[in-house]
Amino acid sequence: MQAEYTGRQLSITPALRRMGDEAIGRIAKLLPKVVGVHIVLTSEKYRKTADVAVKMRAGKIVGFAESNNMETALREALERAETQAIRYRKRQTAIKRQPKDEKLQHEVLPVRARKASRTRSETAEPENGGARTTTNGKRPSKTMVPVTVHTFPATRPIAEPHIVRSLDSVALRPMTIEEAVKEAEFRDREVFVFRNPEGTLCVLHRKRDGKMELIEAP
């Protein structure tokens, strides 16, 4: 997979290109159906940034890092993109291996066959005054049927919610959607809350398929 490089106030050296191609080769083996890769390197006076974007048919993976050295920034951005690719691969494998819900088959309890009861003609006295049939004073036995008894608690226990406050999931300054996506990836957050330049409250949420869902508060 060949990556597209863009240098802003910087010329792409063979060493940087070699480092990027090797990492993109490893990432392409982890992700299915990679459409394209774009690496943007920006050089400022005291700040070097690297932005790696891997596009797939099912979503997009972004790795962003900054440092005072361009090689360090590019290496960290590639490592973050590779970490997200590994996490995406594990999530897809877990979804595929999850078995379908199967209906539970209820076990049929064995029931003893009921003996045929005597007819009234056998127990009644014959009209011609013949001998009565007797049972020797014993009552006929009853068929025993096993019964399963279930016990239920009087009150259902209610689990108390475990709430932990998170300050890393909230942006302290207004951001664009692109900046919010990069910041969420940089902080490794599945949910990220921010305000856009118009002041609207927005929420970024990563779905199971790897796509980022944008929710705007009314």
Any idea what the CATH number is for the domain that residue 197 is in? 3.30.505.50
Whole-number CA gyration radius for the chain: 36
Angstrom distance (rounded) from CA 19 to CA 69: 14
Under 8 Å between Cβ of 27 and 62:
no
The confidence score (pLDDT) of residue 212 equals 82
Residue 110 to residues 113, 144, 150: CA-CA distances in angstroms?
A: 9, 11, 18
Domain of 198, in residue numbers: 177-216
- 116 is a domain residue: no
Q: What is the mean pLDDT of the chain?
A: 77
Q: Identify which has the larger pLDDT, 41 or 93.
A: 41
- 190 is a domain residue: yes
Crossing angle for the helix pair 14-30 and 70-97, to the nearest 10 degrees: 10
pLDDT surpasses 70 at 5 = yes
Angstrom distance (rounded) from CA 61 to CA 87: 11
Give mean pLDDT, residues 150-173: 70
- 105 is a domain residue: no
- 122 is a domain residue: no
- DSSP lists the bridge partners of residue 55 as 36, 60
Which one of 95, 124, 148 terminates a domain?
95
- 132 is a domain residue: no
The confidence score (pLDDT) of residue 153 equals 61
What's the number of domains the chain is made of? Answer: 2
- 126 is a domain residue: no
pLDDT surpasses 50 at 129 = no
What are 69-91's pLDDT values in tens digits?
899 999 999 999 889 888 888 88
- 195 is a domain residue: yes
Going edge to edge, which strands form the sheet with 48-56?
4-8, 34-43, 48-56, 60-67
Q: Write down the residue that tokens 């900046």 correspond to.
A: 179
Q: Identify which has the larger pLDDT, 34 or 100.
A: 34
pLDDT surpasses 80 at 127 = no
Any idea what the CATH number is for the domain that residue 36 is in? 3.30.160.100
Q: Identify which has the larger pLDDT, 95 or 42.
A: 42
pLDDT surpasses 90 at 206 = no
pLDDT surpasses 90 at 49 = yes
- 133 is a domain residue: no
Going edge to edge, which strands form the sheet with 201-206?
191-195, 201-206, 212-216
Angstrom distance (rounded) from CA 62 to CA 41: 14
Q: Identify which has the larger pLDDT, 193 or 168.
A: 193
The confidence score (pLDDT) of residue 135 equals 53
Give mean pLDDT, residues 47-62: 87
Give mean pLDDT, residues 36-57: 89
Least confidently predicted of 19-33, 157-171, 197-211: 157-171
Which one of 79, 95, 111 terminates a domain?
95
Three-class secondary structure assignment of the chain: CCCEEEEECCCCCHHHHHHHHHHHHHHHHHCCCEEEEEEEEEECCCCEEEEEEEEECCCEEEEEEEECCHHHHHHHHHHHHHHHHHHHHHHHHHHHHCCCCCCCCCCCCCCCCCCCCCCHHHHCCCCCCCCCCCCCCCCCCCCCCCCCCCCCCCCCCCCCCCCCCCCCCECCCCCCHHHHHHHHHHHCCCEEEEECCCCCEEEEEECCCCCEEEEECC
Which one of 47, 76, 95 terminates a domain?
95
pLDDT surpasses 80 at 51 = yes
Look up the pTM and report it.
Answer: 0.43
pLDDT surpasses 50 at 124 = no
Confidence of residue 112 (pLDDT cuts 50, 70, 90): low
